[in-house]
Chains A and B, each alone.
Chain A
Amino acid sequence: MSETITISPVTRIEGHARVSIYVDDAGEVDSAQFHVVEFRGFEKMCEGRPFHEMPGLMSRICGICPVSHVLASSKAGDAILGVQVPPAAEKQRRLINCAQVLQSHALSFFHLSSPDLLMGMDSDPGKRNIFGLVDADPDFARRGIRLRQFGQRIVEILGGKRIHPSWGAPGGVLKVLSTAERDEMLGWVPEAYETLEIAFRRLKSVLDSFQEEVRHIGNFPTLFLGMVNEDGEMDFYDGRIRIVDSEGNIVADGLDPNRYATYLGEASEEWSYMKFPYYKPLGYPGGMYRVGPLARVNVVHAMGAPRADRELREFRQRTWVVRNESFHYHQARLIEMLYSVEAIEDLLNDPEILKEHVRVNAGQNNSEGIGCCEAPRGTLFHHYQVDDDGRIKKANLLIATSQNNLAINKAVEQTAKRFVNPGRLAEGMLNRVEAAIRCYDPCLSCSTHAVGQMPLSIELIGPDGSVLDRVAR
């Protein structure tokens, strides 16, 4: 008798999603799917809007990574204008993107993943959350909040507000940075280093107790894709695309982000509204690739920042050269936070960031523009086609979470096969399935946030549709 176990909904991963675990006639987990039931209507809503309004509109897509959308949108606008932005504007853009990565990763690491990491996968679910962490180690919890505040404060200073900054614009930015603002931001840096040192220490002290999870939660070979600068180092803002395989071999290098459609395809599945991007030369689904923190630290030659490079070297010695284990997204996130703080410090100490020439003026020179940058969850592409009046005819957004869609599905399936025993449902099993998803920190960003959150549940459903068993929390 085959059964279906449904975890529905996976609450507020910035949208609505559910996980179904299919059980075969022998009572074993046969497969699993991560369903996204949310329709991304934003691309359609953009049509007819002037392209110069797009950065402001795009900032409203997401409450967690609005800056990334502003940047990719602004860069697409730069391309439509056919301009290069002034150095001060580029440095401001780099600064705010690092701040964005810092605050988003801080939320993921300290608030969503630390309860698992510091309390254990099988600990009391009533305490395995941010409140349990607050009770156990309030200083660590408070530091996590402060680190996120640092990133948010930079976004607020530059963007005018934290959630939907509209400072970005085609041709540059709309604000000149003052010395006082620069100094305030620099004042946060020492505490950020201290907090990250503590976080690295805590994570490394518990990693050995998660060997089973490291091996079996999303550990499989894929390609990895990320942006690198001309020296092959980490670059969140601009560069070329590099793709490596599961053994670290460079599969493609120096790819032009503007030509993404020639090497990245987007497949669809009837059971999910989210696209399934893949690397075209290997076909679908063989061209599965991953983006985001783990992918980025896998593709770079070095981080290009001394503290982060020390951590990267240790990470690589510990886990070989290329890490296929999704669990290592957590440590990669920490490395990227450290890189971000170093980059923020460097950018703020560069006098050019204070220059007043922050935007170039130009008319429309092209009918198409593509903007690409690294968002917290991975590489982000905005592609606009405009009419002669500069109004959007077509918009295509290739977001990081969708690029991880194939991998998230595979991670869920692998984890369910290893840890879910349909004959004996236990909360810890379900938590590991969630943990597989959590590694990728997915953001299905067009969510509502109304009161009425539903609980997470797992259901055993028989062939006749009846619910045989159910666990909810």
Chain B
Amino acid sequence: MRLLLLAIGNRWRRDDGAAHRALELLGPQPGVSARSALQLTPEMAEEISPFDGVVIVDADIEPGATRLAPIEANPAARSPLGHSIGPDELLLLARKLYGFQGRAWLCRVPGVDFNEGDGLSETAESNAAAAARLLLEMTRQGLR
């Protein structure tokens, strides 16, 4: 079972970098690859295709608890102006273009401060720690 953890976000926008912090707190895990990026881009579709599972970890502007949920490859039509794509879009590209057969989840790490600056708010730091615990449990259970 090969799992990819993909953290995205901008560390210079404070809590937008919460996903990277979650992976730092988790640390290296056997059988798990980890990668950090500012945003999701189309070529990542090929990169995730060899894995059995992928977890996209992202900050969330909605308040609440850290949570983990499957991603549905059923994206709504979006305005084609942005330079990044959504987790559902990435999953669909991976399935359609590169035959990705694995499972995919989105780990949301709520934040409260997305202004310019580095360092996380207390809320985001706490949520990043919760995300690390969720991911640890997941990797230990082997994607069950």
Residues of A at under 8 Å CB distance from B?
10-14, 39, 41-42, 44-45, 60-64, 107, 111-113, 115-116, 125-126, 128-131, 134-135, 138, 141-142, 144-145, 148-149, 152, 162-164, 434, 437-438, 443, 446-453, 455-456, 473
Bound together, the chains give a CA A60 to CA B108 distance in angstroms of 22
Main secondary structure, interface of B, reads loop
User: Across chains A and B, which 7 residue pairs bring their CB atoms closest together, nearest first?
Assistant: A12-B82, A63-B38, A41-B116, A452-B61, A456-B79, A450-B59, A448-B16
B37 within 8 A of A: yes
Q: Which of B59-106 contact A (CB under 8 A)?
A: 59-62, 75-87, 89, 92-93, 96-97, 106
Residue of A nearest to B46 (CB): A145
CB distance from A85 to the nearest CB of B (A): 27
Inside 8 A of B12's CB, which chain A residues have their CB? 42, 45, 60-61, 446
B42 within 8 A of A: yes
Bound together, the chains give a CA A393 to CA B39 distance in angstroms of 31
Bound together, the chains give a CA A34 to CA B128 distance in angstroms of 36
Given contacts A10-B81, A134-B93, A447-B13, 10 further A-B contacts (CB under 8 A): A13-B81, A107-B42, A163-B38, A438-B81, A448-B13, A449-B8, A449-B39, A450-B58, A450-B111, A451-B59
Please state if A39 and B116 are interface contacts (CB–CB under 8 Å): yes
Residue of A nearest to B36 (CB): A163
Please state if B39 and A434 are interface contacts (CB–CB under 8 Å): no
Residue of A nearest to B83 (CB): A64
Which of A44, A113, A152, A451 is packed against the most chain B CB atoms within 10 Å?
A451
B11 within 8 A of A: yes
Bound together, the chains give a CA A445 to CA B6 distance in angstroms of 21
What is the size category of the interface that chain B forms with chain A? 35 or more
Bound together, the chains give a CA A113 to CA B12 distance in angstroms of 29
Cβ contact of A130, chosen from B16, B39, B61, B93, cutoff 8 A: B93
* Known A450-B59, A451-B62; contact A63-B39, beta-carbon cutoff 8 A: yes
B142 within 8 A of A: no
B53 within 8 A of A: no
Residue of B nearest to A17 (CB): B81
Q: List 25 A-B contacts (CB under 8 A).
A: A11-B79, A11-B82, A14-B82, A14-B83, A44-B116, A45-B116, A63-B10, A63-B83, A111-B42, A128-B80, A130-B85, A138-B96, A138-B97, A141-B97, A149-B46, A152-B43, A449-B9, A449-B39, A449-B40, A451-B58, A451-B62, A452-B61, A452-B62, A455-B79, A456-B81
Which of A42, A145, A438 is packed against the most chain B CB atoms within 10 Å?
A145
* Known A449-B9, A449-B10, A451-B58; contact A131-B92, beta-carbon cutoff 8 A: yes
Which of A13, A44, A152, A448 is packed against the most chain B CB atoms within 10 Å?
A448
Bound together, the chains give a CA A148 to CA B42 distance in angstroms of 9
Please state if B116 and A446 are interface contacts (CB–CB under 8 Å): yes
Which of A112, A113, A449 is packed against the most chain B CB atoms within 10 Å?
A449
B29 within 8 A of A: no
Inside 8 A of B10's CB, which chain A residues have their CB? 60, 63, 446-449
Please state if A149 and B43 are interface contacts (CB–CB under 8 Å): yes
Residue of A nearest to B47 (CB): A149
Please state if A145 and B42 are interface contacts (CB–CB under 8 Å): yes
Please state if A449 and B116 are interface contacts (CB–CB under 8 Å): no
